[in-house]
Structures are given as structure tokens and as C-alpha cells.
Amino acid sequence: MSRKVLLSLFIILVGLTSMSLAQTGSWTLTNQMANSEQNATATLLQNGKVLVSGGDQGGLAVIIGNAQIFDPATNSWKATPPMRAPRMGHGGTLLPNGKVLISGGMRYVSPNLVILKTAELYDPVANTFTVTAPMAVQRQAHTATLLPNGKVLVVGGLTYYQPRYGYVICTATAEIYDPATATWSSAGSMSVPRCGHIAQILPNGKVLVSGGANYRTYFNSAEIYNPVTNTWSPTGSMAITRYGHSAALLQNGKVLVTGPTPTTEIYNPATGTWSLTASTAAYHAYVPIVTLINGKVLVAGGNSNGSSELYDPFTSTWLPAASLNHPARINFPVTLLSDGRVLVSGGAYDWWTGEVYKP
């Protein structure tokens, strides 16, 4: 083979490598939001619009009850009536009847922070928030997961917070909301109290709960909730302790977990075990990850430079994705839209806009 042919092949290989490292997709800013916020909850509605509710405006003393709707068709925001109570760190779960269950959270009542057990329902048809039955336990930084039977499983969370000393108390309890009767019932207790954990519904209808913390104890343990028997059982532990991490269900039924460190691992429900996979190139902390229609997983921001990455489950690698337009944006929810795009909403250091990712 001649040197000229070898040189040509080298140039082609370099070009292919450069293409593989090129950033994928693009981010476009939305119109200005109706309300500024960070640490809000975003819920995709049945009509394809997104409800963004609560959060704060730069501190624990400015927790808000504002809510707004994003319309992907017009790239615009519209304010709704406020929630019945200001909330931050609450749950927002779409029910089968199209309403959204808002559960728990934290509010500021001078001079104290109050953890809430109250709950309310957003009706997108009437555009109203109405009070529903309260939970048995006050909760903030809990998880709220829709079960296959249409009920909502609420797990763990903060029950007491003393910000001056950084002292917290978390709970191991769980409870179930039944939309048909608007009542709560016990779902037993986990093996340990958890705040900042994640909950992921599995293809078999069970729920995987992993990581989190209780005061200064951080967990790598995980457990499974069985809605048929209303019981908890242990499963394999992660390789590292995690708090502020995120999970996404892959199309093969396994669960990808990453953050707040670059270390990434995969849970196999068939074996109840975890295995390490490729790490992210950057740190992504306290931001949800989302599985795209094409099967890849997007993690956006959660760092100082707005970098985003895509996990390809077919090659078990992370690839660079387009960076956020506002790189310092943090503490925002992430929503997979009906058309396959992804919405990030507000966040610290960019209070008034969202961005939409197009793969």
C-alpha cells in the first residue's frame, strides 16, 4: 500500500473521530417565563403542555406558590392561578385522570421553615388548584411515583430541617395516594430513612429506590417496593454512595444511574445487581436525566459550564451533546416533551427562561 493511500486513510479516520466528538443536537431558548423560579417541579400534561410549579426565587425565605404552563407549540409561557400553598422540594405527579398531584414540600413561615404534609390537585381543564387529603407524614425532597394501578407511591423525604446547624431528619416511611378515593394509606417503611434518593418504576411494576442520605450518613444501598404485596425488600447495592443523583429507564428495561460524580452504573432488575459503565466527562449534579425516543439518555448542565452529554446504551459510551445557552443554569427540572424534545425550566442564575433540546 502506497504512502499516499495510507495518508488518505489516516485523514479519513481523523475526520471520523472528529465527527464522533462533535456535539449532538441543539438548545433553543424559550420565550420569557411568566414567573422566575428555581427548584421547581415540572409535569408533562396529557395535552402536551408542561406545568411548572413552586420552587424559590433565590433563597429559602422566598419560597413561592406560583405556577405556569409551557406550550411547546408556541414556545411560550402562561401563568396559572397560584397553588394553595408555597412549596419547594415537593412532588408533582400526573394522574390517569389528567390532574396533577402536588405533594408535600417546604415553605417559609417567618422565622421558620415548615415541612408540609398537605397536598393539592391541579386540574388543567378548570385551570385550578384544589386541596386534597394530606399525607400522614410531612415530607420534602421525597419521591412521588405513578404506579401501574394509577395510584401514587410517595417515599421518604425530609421531615425536619434546622438550617442554622444543617441538621436534618429523614423518614423511612412510604404512603400511597388513591385518586379514586382521594385518600392516603401506608406503604410500609424502607430499611433506612432516605432524603435525596431516587425512585424508578421498573417494567415489572415494582419500584427501585436507591441512594440518598439521612443527616450525615450517605447510602449506596437500594431496595424494591412491590405494589402487589405492599412490601419492601433489599436488592443489590450501588458501587458508590449517591445523593443528588438521577436515574433513567433504558429501553432494555435496565436502569441507568449517574451523578453527582461522573461515575455511572446500571441496575439489572433480572439479577438485582449493579455494574459500572462509562463515566461522564463532566460532573452533573442535582439534575434529572431523561431517556430520549431514540434510546439515548441526556444529562444537561448541573455544572459550571452548561455542558451536556448523551449516553448510548448500544455502545456503553457517553458522547458530547450541545451545551446549554446559559451555562450557569442550575437547580432546574427536566421534561421529555411529547414530540421528543426536552425542556429545562428556569433555574438559578437564569430565572426567566427555559431551553428546549432538539436531538
Residue 186 lies in a domain: no
Residue 332 lies in a domain: yes
Residue 315 lies in a domain: yes
356, three cell numbers: 428546549
Domain range holding 343? 251-359
* CATH assignment of the domain containing 322: 2.120.10.80
Cβ–Cβ contacts within 10 Å for residue 271, how many?
11
pLDDT in tens, 240-253: 999 999 999 999 99
Residue 298 lies in a domain: yes
- Which of these, 82, 194, 176, lies nearest to 127 by C-alpha position? 82
The pTM (predicted TM-score) of the whole model is 0.92
Q: What integer pLDDT is reported at residue 301 of this predicted model? A: 93
Place of cell 452504573: 265
Residue 344 lies in a domain: yes
Q: If you average pLDDT over residues 11-34, what whole number do you get?
A: 67
Beta bridge partners of 218: 213
Residue 216 lies in a domain: no
Residue 318 lies in a domain: yes
Q: If you average pLDDT over residues 262-276, what whole number do you get?
A: 98
Please give the C-alpha separations between residue 166 and each of 109, 161, 215, 265, 308, in angstroms, as whole numbers.
18, 7, 8, 30, 31
Q: What integer pLDDT is reported at residue 180 of this predicted model? A: 98
Number of structural domains (the chain) is 1
Confidence at 61, pLDDT banded by 50, 70, 90: confident
Of the chain, the percentage scoring pLDDT greater than 70 comes to 94
pLDDT in tens, 280-325: 999 999 899 999 999 999 999 999 899 999 999 999 999 999 999 9
